[in-house]
Amino acid sequence: MYKEELYLVVDIPPEKSAYVFRIDTIWNPTYRLINYGPLPIQANQPLKSFTGTSVTAPANGALAPMSYIEGIEFPLQNVYNLSDMWDVPSSFLANRLFVVEQTVTPEFLRVNAYIPINTVQASFQGNKLPLKISDLWGWKRGKFVMTHFPDILVGYNYANDTSFPVYTSVIFKYWEYVVSIPSDPAIIFNILAGFIPEKIVRRIAYPIVTLAPDLKNQLQRLYGFFGFPLPSIERRAEYERKYAEILASPLVRESYLARAGGIR
């Protein structure tokens, strides 16, 4: 089976934790690029406007000047969820996840994501000031990295804060990982503490500031826990004990991932 890095770490910032996965294989070792094409926007579809005026899409796949759209999913024929190509069912693909690097053009377009689909996931001063795609910050331009977990719908948001009416286009570079969770708490500690060489660990932050109830419930069903607590490196024994307790807990042993053979 083909591998690059041996481990994948997905940080869950609001929980001060991280999922540590062993990469069993990469399903697409060679073919990484999906030239998806225009954003799924229909001509004359209503858009939101920075200026408060009503505005519609000037063409298929196009954004009007000073407009934005929220909650975009990516339809594709002949996949599990026809309205969202990145959504797979956790009931039998729990040991699979996608890491997706997205480039939207023109690259000056703003992009961010709501997870699950209607939950704003950027804020300032804790949760005091939620940041949406129409705000001054709380988004990126052109490129976005996302981890897609099974059965968690992600809504992408795009904004055009220029005077151009623009045709959009999206290219995805993706990794379809088949994963399991390491059974050795010492390995988990060493990875999270940075004692394992970086070249065999891919580490990504899940772009969230809050674990919304729907998201929490799905992660619970999927893995049975919300990530391994980030360790204090001088307290190895304590954290390895915590990790062992997590791995032995009934919720983890009965999770979708365990049923898919991802917890041994």
Partner 1 sequence: MKYLFPVYGATNGTATSGTVPLSSHFTVSSVNYISIPQGIKAKIWSVRISGAAVNFQIQFTQNVNTSTPTWVTVENISLASAGEVAIDKSRKPTVLEGKNGNEAIQIVWAQSTAAVSYIILDIEFTDEDD
Determine if 52 is a binding residue for partner 1 (CB under 8 A).
Answer: no
| Of 138 and 150, CB closest to partner 1 | 138
Residue with the two structure tokens 């002949």: 78
Q: Could you tell me which stretch among 114-122, 164-172, 183-191, 237-245 binds partner 1 (CB under 8 A)?
A: 164-172
Determine if 145 is a binding residue for partner 1 (CB under 8 A).
Answer: no
Rounded Cα distance between 208 and 148, Å, is 12
Cβ-contact 95, 179 below 8 angstroms: yes
Rounded Cα distance between 56 and 49, Å, is 9
1, 136, 198, 234: which one contacts partner 1 (CB under 8 A)? 136
Determine if 253 is a binding residue for partner 1 (CB under 8 A).
Answer: no
Determine if 164 is a binding residue for partner 1 (CB under 8 A).
Answer: yes
Cβ burial, residue 21 (10 Å; 0-12/13-18/19+):
buried
- How many helices (H) and strands (E) in the chain? 6, 18
Minimal CA–CA distance to 101: which of 113, 118, 90? Answer: 113
| Of 77 and 163, CB closest to partner 1 | 163
Q: Which two tokens stand for residue 159?
A: 């904004």
Binding characters for partner 1, 179-218, by CB under 8 A (x = yes): ----------------------------------------
Residue with the two structure tokens 């540590």: 20
Q: Could you tell me which stretch among 16-24, 57-65, 207-215, 235-243 binds partner 1 (CB under 8 A)?
A: 57-65
Rounded Cα distance between 170 and 176, Å, is 18
Please tell me the count of residues contacting partner 1 according to CB under 8 A.
22
Tell me which residues in 76-115 interact with partner 1 (CB under 8 A).
105-108
Q: Which residues here bind partner 1, judged by CB under 8 A?
A: 58-59, 62, 65, 105-108, 136, 140-143, 161-169
